[in-house]
């Protein structure tokens, strides 16, 4: 059976465009992804940067309304920026109108804010590991967060997302709160039983997301939940991430065995040269993120300036692990990633300056992969 493919979208804002058009492009891509046979359409949550998916729970409602059967979800809600009740009530509202189609993905990004606000990103010891290619998959050294050039903007954004003096719950505790609210078993600290309407009993699938073998991967395994591992964000840690999830896994009623999704950043065109041209401004975008400025407008490859050697060193791992080329060459590399990780499903993110090129990338890959033979979940 063909491994299912899904879509992860950030509603990127291209240079010369705006957030309104980016959101319209996302809705259009979701409709086309459904038609082409992708299983899920997930939305990333980012704030104070040039992507339009900041209100991810609002956006999934709009996507669900614009589509008919594709599963829609978050990849992921940044716990620490949202209360458990707000998350459950928002998803419960959408599920009440479009039942049985929602994936509630949860991530730890918001919980890492306290560390950045108080002490910045700590440097990591220098690593001796070099880039290797294992069974056709590029595995670079893990990115060192100490390389971030400026964390002041990140810290300011995190402060703006929190009420003064508010402290996020520990991640594991907040995940359990969400599970209890969905199940109708939540009891407040003073012993009062509280029920979320809408939310309680909502037919949503809980997912955890992670980029390392740490808390998220282990918790997903312990709870018997499906897990999404971020190769496209942290390619150097993908092996330890999936191994930690499987090692911790305990069967649950819905998942008797681990269910793993692995992400990949992809640009497909009719030939390798065209794809390389379309992807040539990807490094500029990654550099804007890793410099601390946050995702910039996505540049037109025809006018993007050359990157310096210093800039390239900061993004080498991400550029080397982007899947760029003709449909056949990209599909071959994706199959290698699936086989190495044992992924049950791959989730594809594709960013180009022109929306038409992004649509074409997803369309060509769907046809090459044979998605017409994949039944929706």
pLDDT in tens, 247-304: 999 999 999 999 999 999 999 999 999 999 999 999 999 999 999 889 999 999 999 9
Please, which residues bridge with residue 23 across strands? none
Residue-wise pLDDT tens digits, 166-203? 888 999 999 999 999 999 999 998 899 999 999 999 99
pLDDT digits (tens, 9 = 90+) for 21-59: 999 999 999 999 999 999 999 999 999 999 999 999 999
Percent of the chain with pLDDT over 70: 92
The span from the CA of 214 to the CA of 234, in Å, is: 13
CATH of 5-373, picked from 3.40.50.300, 3.40.50.11860, 3.90.1150.10, 3.20.20.30, is 3.20.20.30
DSSP 202: -
For residue 374, the model assigns a pLDDT of 40
Q: Which residues 6+ apart lie within 8 Å of 226 measured at CB?
A: 205, 207, 208, 220, 255, 258, 259, 260, 261
pLDDT over 70 at 206, yes or no? yes
Class of residue 343 by CB neighbours under 10 A (exposed 0-12, middle 13-18, buried 19+):
buried
The whole-model pTM stands at 0.93
Mean pLDDT taken over the chain:
92
Cα Dmax for the chain: 63
d(CA 275, CA 297): 20
Q: Which pLDDT value is given to residue 126?
A: 52
User: Residue 322 in 3-state DSSP?
Assistant: coil
* 103 beta partners: 73, 205
- Residues 257, 116 contacting (CB under 8 angstroms): no
């Amino acid at each position: 059976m063909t491994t299912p493919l899904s879509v992860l979208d950030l509603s990127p804002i291209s240079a010369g465009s705006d957030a309104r058009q980016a959101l319209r492009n996302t809705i259009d891509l979701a409709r086309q992804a459904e038609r082409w046979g992708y299983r899920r359409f997930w939305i990333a949550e980012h704030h104070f940067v040039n992507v339009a998916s900041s209100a991810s729970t609002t956006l999934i409602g709009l996507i669900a309304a614009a589509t008919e059967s594709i599963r829609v979800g978050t990849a992921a809600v940044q716990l620490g920026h949202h209360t458990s009740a707000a998350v459950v009530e928002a998803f419960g509202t959408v599920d009440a109108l479009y039942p049985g189609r929602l994936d509630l993905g949860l991530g730890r990004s918001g919980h890492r804010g306290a560390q950045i606000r108080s002490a910045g990103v700590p440097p990591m010891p220098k690593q001796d590991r070099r880039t290797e290619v294992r069974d056709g998959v590029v595995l670079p050294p893990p990115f060192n967060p100490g390389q971030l050039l400026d964390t002041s903007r990140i810290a300011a954004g995190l402060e703006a997302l929190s009420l003064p003096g508010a402290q996020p719950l520990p991640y594991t505790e907040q995940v359990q709160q969400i599970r209890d609210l969905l199940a109708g078993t939540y009891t407040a600290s003073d012993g009062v039983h509280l029920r979320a309407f809408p939310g309680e009993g909502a037919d949503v699938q809980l997912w955890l997301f992670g980029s390392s073998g740490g808390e998220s991967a282990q918790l997903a395994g312990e709870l018997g939940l499906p897990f999404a591992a971020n190769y496209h964000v942290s390619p150097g840690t993908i092996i330890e991430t999936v191994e930690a999830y499987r090692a911790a896994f305990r069967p649950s009623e819905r998942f008797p065995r681990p269910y793993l999704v692995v992400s990949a950043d992809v640009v497909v065109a009719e030939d390798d040269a065209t794809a390389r041209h379309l992807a040539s401004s990807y490094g500029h975008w990654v550099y804007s993120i890793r410099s601390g400025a946050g995702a910039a407008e996505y540049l037109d490859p025809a006018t993007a300036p050359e990157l310096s050697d210093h800039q390239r060193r900061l993004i080498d791992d991400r550029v080397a692990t982007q899947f760029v080329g003709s449909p056949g060459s990209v599909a071959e590399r994706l199959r290698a990633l699936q086989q190495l990780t044992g992924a049950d499903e791959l989730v594809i993110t594709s960013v180009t300056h022109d929306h038409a090129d992004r649509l074409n990338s997803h369309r060509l890959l769907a046809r090459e992969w044979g998605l017409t033979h994949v039944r929706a979940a």
